[in-house]
Amino acid sequence: MTAGGDRPIPVSATPANGPAADYPVVVGEPFTIGDTTWTPTDQMNYDAVGYAGVAGEGVVGVTAAHKTLPLPSYAEVTSLETGKTILVRVERRGPMVNDTLVELSRDAASELGITAGQRVAVRLRRTNPPESDRALLRQGEQASERMATPEALLKVLRRKLADQSPLLTPPPMPPGAAPDTAKSGSQVPSVMAVSVPPSEPIAQTQPVPEPKAELKSGQVAKGDHVVQVAAFSVAASARAVASKLNGHVATCGKFSCVRMGPFANRAQAAAALEKARTAGYSDARIQRAD
């Protein structure tokens, strides 16, 4: 699928008011923008920094376009300039360029203090808002006001954005799994005209750390504590993150969970937790080993 100058297609042309309008949730197939392949995933704790653009006049409501988040889903967008945060409904694939994390509708951009033609630094964090806020967004209205982000956290987020290199890289594909551009274009549903975040944690391609000498490949160490990093609906995405963090993948029901450890004590687990959060997984947590 190519952008071709076409306007991103929303999940539904006429937003419904009831909770049923949020289902079914569409993840979609991998798609290609230029020479870059993006793979949508149902990442529950998605949290990234990058740049936001503004959609054309035909896009209505307090909505957003994203390359990999499920459609529809909900996310908070924070301006790294002002700290103002808004809630948006993600219902389009886009933006169809590789250097923009999220594309906001005119109404969403206005609420955040952005004008058409601007491109500003933002944080995009997936959330699970209450039904009252979901209903307002489905009706094209603003959700309840969010708390402003403190300056101390903004400084951390700005550093994270500045340190990103490259700014936008797609999630790594397993060997032989990269879809053929022409073929994938016919497989991607029309709702797939959305954008992918530039700072997506799984998009960072880094050398895979060598396994510890005392462990054989794929072997899990013994210990009482593990770090639960994230859960993915696509196993390939989980494996990519596990490789980056020198972790492993465990089956959690219908999801593939990335874990680090086990660790012999909580201090070691805390160090691994900090590593996971520094990599962008802010919802990572320490839990007892199975």
**Domain of 264: which CATH number?**
3.30.70.1070
Q: Is residue 127 part of a domain?
A: yes
- The count of domains in the chain is 2
Q: Is residue 45 part of a domain?
A: yes
Q: Is residue 142 part of a domain?
A: yes
pLDDT at 17: 67
Q: Is residue 196 part of a domain?
A: no
- Which structural domain, as residue segments, surrounds residue 219? 206-288
Q: Is the pLDDT of residue 5 over 70?
A: no
Asked if residue 225 and residue 148 are part of one domain, the reply reads no
Asked if residue 144 and residue 47 are part of one domain, the reply reads yes
What's the pTM? 0.55
If one compares 68 and 174, the residue with the highest pLDDT of the two is 68
Q: Is residue 256 part of a domain?
A: yes
Q: Cβ contacts of residue 263 below 8 Å, gap of 6+?
A: 221, 223, 224, 225, 226, 227, 269, 272
Q: What is the mean pLDDT of the chain?
A: 78
Asked if residue 264 and residue 130 are part of one domain, the reply reads no
Question: What is the mean predicted confidence (pLDDT) over 93-108?
Answer: 92
Q: Is the pLDDT of residue 93 over 60?
A: yes
Of 163, 185, 216, the residue at which a domain comes to its end is 163
Q: Is residue 176 part of a domain?
A: no
Asked if residue 150 and residue 250 are part of one domain, the reply reads no
Q: Is the pLDDT of residue 179 over 70?
A: no
Asked if residue 133 and residue 71 are part of one domain, the reply reads yes
Band of residue 188 on the pLDDT scale cut at 50, 70, 90? very low
